[in-house]
């Protein structure tokens, strides 16, 4: 086998097919890329037996043949080739010679007959969907696919088609994402569960061109997708998907209409502070809602407890925000927190927390933080100088350090290595939000809006 093609086309082709390249497989041949010649095209194939991707690239074929090259190594070699054409030759012993400009590389390949054949489709049902529509559906649902679950169906994405309606649903037990679309050309009725990994790979290969279509063929437990020069074969997840329609709420306690982009940006900024694990929640508070509890920090799941608590204490929802709420702790003390907790089937700490929140509806948690102690000569970033000492307030503690408000418009970062003289495993061991600290300026990058601070060698207030 011998062929010549452009290095850029070969790189692009490998980027497509290696999405299905197997890793740590008991079948070593699946760690390779199958290379075949076909008229004036080169056919590349990768498979992990659950998903198979085939793509074609333009090439000048001198001698026809087929062989398998080590996928990861071949990909790295091609990526480092100079621009221009590359000529690849395979001998009778499946040895590959790669030539490009002054570069010469030899690698050992394997017999193509060892590579699994393409999946065979039986009793196919074909539909055609716009690629941009399918791509958008995947982008808006794949995040809710379960990474791991004893129920295998939840590790996939449900595609439903019925009478021109196309639905894609993903559910991981905590959240549900559903995207609906219309496609008048599709009148078939059927559904399939596409594996989560395949969903992401398919989405990356779809075009955003509104005139491009994807041909989907369903047969048995397989899905075959035809794009322009690429084909994807997927083994579908077998089983019955969760009846998600029963999960969808029939009514809502609160409904809000807002501009999408400003809301998206707010969530994006707030999510930077959320950590992995149990402390990864964002609080959405709605003011001006019909339910007065919406203006408090009481979680909606605890609304029934809060309403019951008010009733037992002789109060109503209308009393929230009035002076009557000041009497709530006294009323609760008279009735006894233990008795209230028993009647409401809640813990005493929960009862106390709800009472505290009912007394301060609409409170901004940031108001409880102490004000930053400002220097009259430091008002903007340009006023900061290296070695300058300042007093500031810790506004946020993260894994890599703490952000400190020093009175200019940007918070400065004290990296974990600059928090103290001794080793600190996590900044929260030393600092918490609201702490008053003394810091020294290390560096100011006005162009990027970054301030580097240190607490090392700086005498701290008594509380630290």
Mean pLDDT of 91-105: 94
pLDDT of amino acid 4:
95
Tokens for 317?
């929802």
- Inter-residue contact 105 to 97 (CB < 8 Å): yes
Whole-angstrom CA distances from 30 to 10, 77, 98, 143 are 19, 19, 21, 28
pLDDT of res. 275: 55
State the Cα–Cα distance between residues 104 and 92, nearest whole angstrom: 19
* C-alpha pair distances (Å), 3 with each of 32, 88, 89, 228: 19, 6, 7, 22
* Residue 42, strand partner residues: 37, 57
The tens digit of pLDDT for each residue in 348-364 reads: 999 999 998 898 876 66
Q: How many angstroms separate the CA atoms of 440 and 390, rounded?
A: 6
Predicted pLDDT at 59: 95
- State both tokens at 266: 């707010």
What's the mean pLDDT in 243-260?
82
Q: Are 81 and 103 in contact (CB under 8 A)?
A: yes
Helix residue ranges per DSSP H, 170-252: 196-205
Cα separation, 398 vs 451, whole angstroms: 16
Angle 19-21-24 from CA coordinates, rounded to 5°: 130
Please give the residue that has the higher pLDDT: either 461 or 450: 450
pLDDT category, 169, cuts 50, 70, 90?
very high
If DSSP codes are grouped into helix, strand and coil, which group holds residue 208?
A: coil
Alpha helix ranges (H) inside 225-347: 260-271, 303-312, 328-335, 337-344
pTM of this prediction? 0.65
**Residue 210, pLDDT score:** 83
Whether residue 276 is predicted with pLDDT greater than 80 in this model: the reply is no
| Confidence tier at 377 by pLDDT (50, 70, 90) | confident
pLDDT-above-90 percentage for the chain: 48
Whether the per-residue pLDDT at 381 is higher than 90: the answer is: no
Q: 209-242: per-residue pLDDT in tens?
A: 888 999 999 888 899 999 999 999 999 999 999 8
Give the pLDDT of residue 363.
66
Beta strand pairing call for 450-454 and 412-415: parallel
Structure tokens at 281: 């929640």
The sheet carrying 51-58 orders its strands as: 110-111, 66-70, 32-38, 41-47, 51-58, 230-235, 222-226, 213-219, 125-130
Does residue 372 have a pLDDT over 70? no
Percent of the chain at pLDDT > 70 equals 92
The DSSP bridge partners found for residue 85 are 6
Tell me the per-residue pLDDT of 432-453, one tens digit each, with 9 for 90 and over. Answer: 887 888 999 999 888 777 899 9
Q: Which tops the pLDDT comparison, 369 or 298?
A: 298
Residue in the block written with tokens 């690849």: 88
Q: Is the pLDDT of residue 44 over 80?
A: yes
Q: Is the pLDDT of residue 159 over 90?
A: yes
The predicted pLDDT at position 290 comes to 77
What tokens were used for 233? Answer: 């074969």
Among 131, 32, 17, which residue's Cα sits nearest to residue 90? 32
- Give the model's pLDDT for residue 135: 94
> What pLDDT is attached to residue 277?
47
**pLDDT the model gives residue 18:** 94
């Amino acid at each position: 086998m011998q062929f010549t093609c452009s290095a850029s086309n070969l790189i692009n082709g490998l980027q497509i097919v290696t999405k299905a390249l197997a890793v740590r497989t008991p079948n070593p041949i699946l760690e390779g890329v199958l290379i075949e010649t076909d008229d004036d095209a080169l056919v590349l194939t990768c498979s992990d037996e659950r998903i198979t991707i085939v793509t074609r690239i333009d090439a000048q074929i001198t001698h026809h043949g087929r062989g398998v090259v080590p996928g990861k190594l071949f990909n790295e070699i091609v990526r480092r080739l100079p621009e221009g054409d590359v000529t690849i030759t395979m001998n009778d012993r499946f040895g590959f010679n790669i030539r490009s400009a002054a570069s010469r590389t030899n690698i050992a390949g394997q017999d193509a007959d060892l590579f699994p054949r393409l999946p065979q489709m039986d009793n196919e049902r074909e539909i055609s969907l716009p690629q941009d529509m399918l791509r958008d559906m995947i982008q808006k649902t794949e995040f809710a696919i379960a990474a791991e679950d004893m129920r295998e169906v939840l590790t996939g994405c449900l595609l439903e088609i019925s009478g021109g309606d196309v639905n894609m649903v993903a559910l991981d037990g905590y959240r549900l994402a559903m995207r609906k679309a219309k496609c008048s050309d599709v009148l078939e009725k059927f559904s399939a569960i596409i594996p989560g990994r395949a969903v992401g790979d398919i989405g990356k290969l779809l075009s955003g061109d509104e005139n491009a279509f994807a041909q989907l063929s369903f047969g048995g437990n397989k899905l075959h997708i035809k794009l322009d020069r690429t084909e994807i074969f997927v083994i579908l997840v077998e089983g019955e998907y969760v009846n998600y329609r029963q999960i969808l709420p029939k009514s809502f306690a609160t409904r809000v209409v807002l501009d999408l982009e400003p809301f998206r940006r707010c969530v994006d900024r707030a999510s930077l502070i959320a950590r992995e694990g149990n402390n990864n929640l964002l609080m959405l508070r709605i003011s001006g809602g019909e339910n007065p509890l919406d203006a408090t920090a009481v979680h909606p799941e605890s609304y029934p407890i809060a309403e019951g608590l008010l009733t037992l204490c002789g109060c109503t929802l209308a009393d929230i925000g009035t002076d009557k709420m000041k009497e709530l702790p006294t009323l609760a003390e008279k009735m006894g927190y233990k008795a209230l907790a028993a009647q409401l089937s809640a813990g005493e700490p929960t009862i106390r927390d709800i009472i505290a929140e009912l007394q301060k509806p609409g409170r901004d948690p940031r108001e409880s933080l102490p004000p930053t102690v400002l220097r009259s000569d430091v008002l903007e970033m340009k006023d900061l100088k290296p070695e300058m000492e300042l007093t500031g307030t810790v506004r946020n503690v993260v894994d890599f350090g703490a952000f400190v408000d020093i009175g200019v418009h940007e918070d400065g970062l004290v990296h974990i290595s600059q928090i103290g003289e001794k080793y600190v495993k996590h900044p929260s061991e030393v600092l918490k939000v609201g702490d008053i600290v003394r810091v020294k300026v290390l560096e100011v990058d006005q162009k990027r809006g970054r301030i580097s601070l240190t607490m090392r060698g700086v005498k701290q207030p008594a509380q630290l």
